[in-house]
Structure 1
Amino acid sequence: MEYRWQRDNKNLTNDDRHQISDKTVTIDKIQRQDNKITYRCIAQESGSRLSNYKDITLNVMYKPGRAQVEDKIIGPYFEGHLSDVILRCSVSDPGNPKAKFSWSKDGMVKDRNNQGHYSISGGQLSVSGHGGLWQCTPYNDIGNGQSANINITVYANPVFIKNISNQSPRAEIQNDLNVLCSIRGRPAPDVIWLYKGGQLPDVVTVISESDVINNKLITVNRRLIWSTDSTLDQRRTTSGLYTCIGNVDDKETKQNINIDVQYAPYNVNINISGNITIIEKELLSLTCAATCNPQCNYIWSKDNTQIIIRDILEFKSIRRQDQDPLEITIRVTPEGHLIQDSDVTVSCIVNSRPEPSSIKWTNITDPDLQDLDCSHKNNTHCMLTLSDINILDSGTYQCQVDNGVRGSPVSLNTNIIVYGPARWYKLDPDDHV
């Protein structure tokens, strides 16, 4: 009996994969390409034409090939879009047995089916539920094929975390400006501030704080503050409407806050109807004006006594008693105990109308120390400097002021007491102890 082998109706001989020994053929390294290949064994009587054969078809099992998707990127869609998205996946080689398909997102299996298509329908798209990387994996009993990815882009409309108008609308120029705008969306919203619909003043700047990511939504924080080099005068002019705008792919949201910049009165002026020199019994009207926010209140006083609360002070018939007072203030530096061998400054500060014609210092304790020289002097200020003082400098010092109105000088005294250790001093023979 003779035996021979055929492969797909072609006589088979020994090669690098087939070894024939009598009636046995050995196939080395079965491959997926061998699937459904038919091998035929033919038996024939020696010296005879009589023969018979038997076919065997190989059923080679192997895992699927590479997954293929129609679209790598789907979208963008915005949250709330009615979902009609169909994910389509095929495979280069279905494998044996025929491949099935698994759809997963973020590592979690969402669906298994035989067709490869996955329909996201029946609801609204969301960032967390649908946005992100989807993966199609072909598989069978032998194993998994190579996966393919589809990215579904789902955007989230920009939304304010908090209403910015709930923050305090008042800002004081000497304190911090602090208004926060927080907008959430996906991708990260573009957030800008506007002032009266245009560019921010130079004295106001925006700082970017760390973005916060929660459940794939990104919160962007932008805070309004004073510029570090801004001055108080510059800040006074920045009251008005500020607008925060957030934008995601041309989807926009905005809110307004009307910031009221407040400051203490400045540029205080007294406007006089007529001349400051006025004849007794004439009419005199004085108007006090200042720049301030909130609105100024005006208090007129004389000799530290309140007269009236309003901006205009009127004298129906001026009297000589109504003339401006002459006020003297003495300031000793340093304050407190004065120590021997230190330097002391005694300042006489005058508030007078008209301005004083003379200001002078005397030591009324020592008759020889009259008309002391001022180290610094102008029309309203006379500063007396005592250097390396000792206990003999102790005494009563008097500032005398004459403005030519009261008829005689006005004076104010201050006592200087110098503390120090006891010392021997040489006395003049005429001194009395």
Structure 2
Amino acid sequence: MSYMLGVYFVTGGLIVVGLVSVTTGSDYVVSRVGGNQTISLNVSQAGGEFRVGVVVNNTTEYLFLKFHNTDIERLNISRTWYRDRYRVRGNITSSVFRLTLYNVTTEDAGIYECQIFDKRPKVRGCKQLLIVAQNPSQPNITGPASAASGGSFTLTCSSSSRSLPPDHPPLNMSYTWRKNSEKIQGDGNASLNGPNLTVRHISREKEDNYTCQAVEEGLESDWSARHVLDVLYGPYTVQFNVTDDKVTATEGDPLTVRCSADCNPACTLAWLDTSKQRVTSGQREAVLSIPAVNRSLSDLYTCHVNNTHGNKSRNLKLDIQYGPQTVQFNVTDGKVTATGDPLTVGCSADCNPACTVTWRDTSRQRVTSSQMEAVLSIPAVNRSLSDLYTCNVNNTHGHKSRNFKLDIQCKSFRFVLTSNLPY
């Protein structure tokens, strides 16, 4: 409880007594529990002879007796909470009465003032409030639970003073903030203004933990509970579970490519083919799954990622590899060719990677060879040439062959017979 030390006139004298309730706006001193504190009262208006006492629970306990401005006598007291904890300081004839309390307790908090004993009017200037400082209450943090990356937010640290008496004038209360256990200095993107913390240009970290502490008269509160700020952001990059944007697959083999992105809230992902048709979609991850790759599939797929805070896309090039299925000639098989005429036959095949194409004659001798297409070129056909040529096509995924039959015919001649014989 709180009390007031009062000074009262008694039969021509004055009593300094008790602790009464607090009124704000008075001069005050602040002390911590266990410290020493001097109370200074202006008794110039109080008269020459007085007794000094303390009133607790409406009972007066006299501490000193002062006579004729010269003598002071310590009185016996029964209240142990004041015994041996006080001393009158300075010249006893002074107009300022100084009472020093030692080993201050919370029960010492209150207004110390002077009053005339019989009518109890207050003596002007004879008043001082003793505030006994206590640790502030554990703070609470109020503010948004989420904020968008790149934006700003403000948190407020709220704590109550527990110093006594409860209705004391406001004391200076400061605040300390931590982010993820590191102290915030209040520079750069963070600013401190009283109990408020404002953060600008929020980083993309998924979750930030903020705590605060209140400090009053050098006494610290407990740290607040964590305030978890959920940082919201769109996709920054799109990830594949393969190392490159180009994937090589062999025809007939299965293929699985996973697409994901770091987003908060989770992004919606969709795989689109070259015609922009949705192949598959999902939350947090979309899986492009092809049971058996074939050359008729789209060779380009796009993973599109989006949430309410942004969108991104990334292309995947599909390199489907396969061997030759058929061998093509650029002439009709078995074309009849006359002796002396030129002959050109191209041989090719659809392959990935490109096939090596080779022409061989009946003796298996290589006539010509090339990549993608080989051309059998005979400037002038003659009957000594091989009548059968084979085009061999191959890559790492397979091989094919096709024969070309050469039908060489002699050119026809027309003979005209003439005679000069007479009839």
Normalised TM-score (structure 1)? 0.45
- State TM-score, norm by structure 2: 0.46
Relative CO higher for 1 or 2, CA cutoff 8 Å, sep ≥ 6?
A: 2
